[in-house]
Amino acid sequence: MLRRAALLMAGALLGVGVIAQPADFPNRPLRLVVPYPPGGSADLVGRMVAEKMSQSLKQSVVVDNKGGASGAIGSDFVSRAAPDGYTLLVAISDTHAINPAVMPQLPYDPQKDFVPVALMATQPMVLAVGRNMPARSLSEFVAIAKQKPRNITYASNGKGGLQHLAMELFSLSAGIETLHVPYKGAAPALSDVIGGQVDALFISLQGAGGNIGSGNLRPLAMASDKRLGVAPEVPTFAESGFAQFTVTQWYGLMAPKGTPAPLVDLLNRHARAALASPDVADKLKSVGTEPAAGSPEQFRVFLAGEIKQWAGVAKSVGVRLE
C-alpha cells in the first residue's frame, strides 16, 4: 500500500514521468478509432500515438479505421461506445468543429457526446497558388481579387470541408470574393491547381508533399501563429497584415461521454508521454505538424473556440450539407 501511494504521488508530481494507473486498467486491448481510411494525416497521428501508448500501457492499442461521411460514421460509433476507456477516437477539426456547422443531421454532438482527452497535434494550413497565378505575396493576391471579384478560383476537397471554409474565412477577413471549385478529394484539387486549371487552395504542408519545394505550388502565407521550422521562408498571415488569422487541421484524442475522470487523466498522461517522445515529435514536425498535448480542460476550451469559429463562417456563407 505504501509503495502504491508513493507511485501515485510521484505520478501526480511528474505528470508524464511516472504514470500511475487506476485499479487494473487496462486489462485488455484498447481500440483507437480513426474515422478515415488508412494513409491520411489522422491515421498517421493515430498510429504513432497508439504505438507509444501500447508500450507505456503495456497493453495493445489497436487502430480501427472506420471511414465515411466526412468522419461522421467513426465518430458516431465511438459516441455510442461504453465509457470505460477502452474505445477512443482520433477527432479532427472536420469531425468535431466543421461537421456540426454544416451538417444539420449530424448523429452526434461534439461536446455533449464526448470527453476531451488530449489535443495531440495541430497542422497549420498554407494558402498556395499555382505557377500560372501572378501573385507573389498575400497582398498581391488580395489586390488581384479586389480588382476582379470572383475571378480568382480556389479548389477544395469538397463543399463544407476545412479547405473550403478556410478560404471563405479568409475572404471574409480580406473583404474579397473568390470562386469555389469543389472536388471529390484532395488529390484532384491539388492536381488542378498545379496544372493551372484553378488558381489557389488552402492545404497543409503534408498534403502539398514536395510540390512547394519543387515550385509546383507557390506558398503565400502560413495560417499559424509562427513560422514553421520545415518552411521558414513562408510568412504567417499575421506578418502579411492579417493578425490572428490561424487555420489548422488538428487532431485530438476523445473518449465517450461518461468516461470517468481518473481514466481520462490517465489516458491524457499516456498520450502526452507519447507525443513528447523525440521520434514521434520529430516525425510530426518533419511534415509540418506540431505536437500539442495539453490537459483535457485545455482541449475542451480549444474545441469550444473552434466550434464557435466555424459555425460563424458556415452561417455567414450559407454552407449546409443535407
Q: What is the DSSP string of 258-320?
A: T--HHHHHHHHHHHHHHHHSHHHHHHHHHTT-EE----HHHHHHHHHHHHHHHHHHHHHHT--
Model pLDDT, residue 213: 84
Asked if residue 268 has pLDDT above 70, the reply is yes
Cα separation, 161 vs 195, whole angstroms: 22
Model pLDDT, residue 182: 95
Least confident of 2-16, 169-183, 217-231, 300-314: 2-16
Asked if residue 249 has pLDDT above 80, the reply is yes
The residue type found at 301 is V
User: Can you tell me the mean pLDDT for 74-93?
Assistant: 98
Query: Residue 132 is placed in which grid cell?
Result: 500560372
User: Can you tell me the mean pLDDT for 266-280?
Assistant: 96
The reply to whether 124-222 shares the fold of 2-123+249-317 is yes
User: Can you tell me the mean pLDDT for 32-47?
Assistant: 94
Helix (H) or strand (E) holding 119: strand 114-130
- Strand, coil or helix: what is 89? strand
The per-residue b/e assignment along 131-165, b for 16 or more CB within 10 angstroms, e otherwise, is eebebeebeebbebbeeeeeebbbbbbbebbbbbb
User: Residue ranges of the domains in the chain?
Assistant: 2-123+249-317, 124-222
Cα separation, 227 vs 235, whole angstroms: 6
Model pLDDT, residue 14: 43
- 244: confidence class by pLDDT, cuts 50, 70, 90: confident
CA–chain centroid gap for 306, Å, is 11
User: Can you tell me the mean pLDDT for 39-50?
Assistant: 94
Model pLDDT, residue 12: 41
> For the whole model, what pTM was predicted?
0.88
- Using alpha carbons, select from 98, 96, 42 the residue that is nearest to residue 66: 42
Residue 104: asked if its preceding bond is cis (omega within 30°), the reply is no
Asked if residue 85 has pLDDT above 60, the reply is yes
Helix (H) or strand (E) holding 167: helix 162-174
Asked if residue 258 has pLDDT above 80, the reply is yes
Superfamily holding 124-222: Periplasmic binding protein-like II (3.40.190.10)
Cα separation, 153 vs 197, whole angstroms: 9
Place of cell 464526448: 114
| pLDDT tens per residue across span 163-213 | 999 999 999 999 999 999 999 888 999 999 999 999 999 999 999 988 998
- Strand, coil or helix: what is 92? strand
Quick check: 301 and 111 in contact, CB under 8 A?
Answer: no
CA–chain centroid gap for 217, Å, is 22
For domain 2-123+249-317, the CATH architecture is 3-Layer(aba) Sandwich (3.40)
- Name the average pLDDT for the chain: 91
